[in-house]
Amino acid sequence: MSVAATSALGRAYARRTRGRTLTLIGLAAALAGSLLLDLATGASDMPLGTVLAGLWDPAAAEVGVRVILWDVRLPQALMAVLVGAALGLAGAEMQTVLANPLASPFTLGISNAATLGAAIAIVAGFHIPVVGPEWTVAVTAFAFAMAATVVVQALARTQGLDGGGESLILFGIAMVFVLNALLWLVQFLASADALQQIVFWTMGSLGRSTWSTVGLLAAVVALCFPWAMRHVWAMTALRAGEEHARALGIAVGRMRVLVLLRVSLLAGVALSFVGTISFIGLVGPHIARLALGEDHRFYLPGAALGGALVLSLSSVVSKSLVPGLVLPVGIVTALVGIPAFVALILLQRRRP
């Protein structure tokens, strides 16, 4: 009797937990729907029934349908989901350990560093011996993204972050400008052909996706997501403040190093395959925070699903906005993301 009476709060919390689980399932269902829609959208007309039949039994489908579905649309659509999930998860983790809702791979210059790396690889036209020509651009972009994360890491270590890490964001903006200037320099020196390639890379596109890049990114996400989920309680505790978390015996410094390592892996690999895709790392976590709160058991999967959903929908929009033309998806995410970014800044200002 008294047990039932005293566990009213526990029951209320369990109800909330169930509601959040349902929200996660809803997000996953929306993502599945968006993925199908993405597969059905494109230059050639393909009804949803044909898509489902072609997925279910590829051997029975027409050759044209099979090639378009399995060699073109499916890798691209899965890439959209994986890149979105990787950037959403990276952004969420970054915002927690840097204690700032404006932190993301994009706002701290990590994606600009990847762009600069890709541009240098394109202009210099070198090949990394073991990697081979088609992967050289991606590997160089990844290396630059890693280097940018190391710089962020060094700054996070020297600066106190309990004040909200504002200096870190300002530093990120400075880094974005510097990297852009260097990018212009590379573009100025580039040949017309290389310039076109760089510009295309900068706009971010899913068009370069192949099954091998999809597989590699899937492996990275499959490694990083369970790894992150092992630290959900510590990350949740960290949201109440760094000193409070340290008082709980959480090694905050060590956790920050591990998280930024994961972030650079997720963001670096994702961006190196698709080019500059902005704001997903900001919008995904924001969706999760609004829908699920900041209990990281729900917040991290929610951010990954939210990022995947936004990028998948952006992919649909990029294909259907201008009939017969596939816009670079980075343009779509930027147009969707900038209002969200401004809203975030305004919301943060309002807070006491």
Partner 1 sequence: MTEGLHIADIVAGYGRRRVIDGLTLPPVPPGTVVGLIGANGSGKSTLLKTLAGLIGGTGHTRLGDHDLRRLSPALRARLVGYLPQTVMRPSSLAVYEVLLSALRATWPELTRARADQRIEAVLADMAVTDLAMRPLGALSGGQRQMIGLAQVLVRAPRLMLLDEPTSALDLRWQLSVLERVRGEARDRRAIALVAIHDINLALRFCDRVVVLGEGLIAAGPPAEALTPAVLRRAFGVTARIETCSHGRPIVVTDGVAAGAIRDQEDIP
Give the count of alpha carbons within 13 A of 87, CB side only: 36
Q: Residue 37 or 235: which CB sits closer to partner 1?
A: 235
Q: Residue 8 or 322: which CB sits closer to partner 1?
A: 8
**Min dist. Cβ of residue 108 to partner 1 (A):** 20
First to last CA, the chain: 43
Q: Residue 39 or 292: which CB sits closer to partner 1?
A: 292
**Min dist. Cβ of residue 219 to partner 1 (A):** 30
Residues at the interface with partner 1 (CB under 8 A) = 3, 6-10, 12-13, 16, 99, 162, 233-234, 236-237, 239-241, 243-244, 246-251, 289, 293-295, 351-352
**Min dist. Cβ of residue 91 to partner 1 (A):** 16
Q: Residue 13 or 177: which CB sits closer to partner 1?
A: 13
What lies within 8 Å, CB to CB, of 279 at 6+ separation is 104, 106, 333, 334, 336, 337, 338, 340, 341
Please, are residues 50 and 327 in contact by the beta-carbon 8 Å criterion? no
DSSP secondary structure letter of residue 206? S
**Min dist. Cβ of residue 170 to partner 1 (A):** 20
**Min dist. Cβ of residue 281 to partner 1 (A):** 18
Q: How far is CA 307 from CA 21, 79, 121, 175, 325, in A?
A: 18, 12, 28, 24, 24
Please, are residues 223 and 147 in contact by the beta-carbon 8 Å criterion? no
Q: Residue 100 — φ and ψ, nearest 5°?
A: -150, 125
**Min dist. Cβ of residue 339 to partner 1 (A):** 21
Q: Residue 245 or 317: which CB sits closer to partner 1?
A: 245
Give the Cα separation of 205 and 14 in Å (integer). 42
**Min dist. Cβ of residue 350 to partner 1 (A):** 11
What lies within 8 Å, CB to CB, of 235 at 6+ separation is 93, 96, 97, 255, 259, 296, 300
What lies within 8 Å, CB to CB, of 212 at 6+ separation is none
Q: Residue 34 or 236: which CB sits closer to partner 1?
A: 236
Q: Residue 49 or 352: which CB sits closer to partner 1?
A: 352
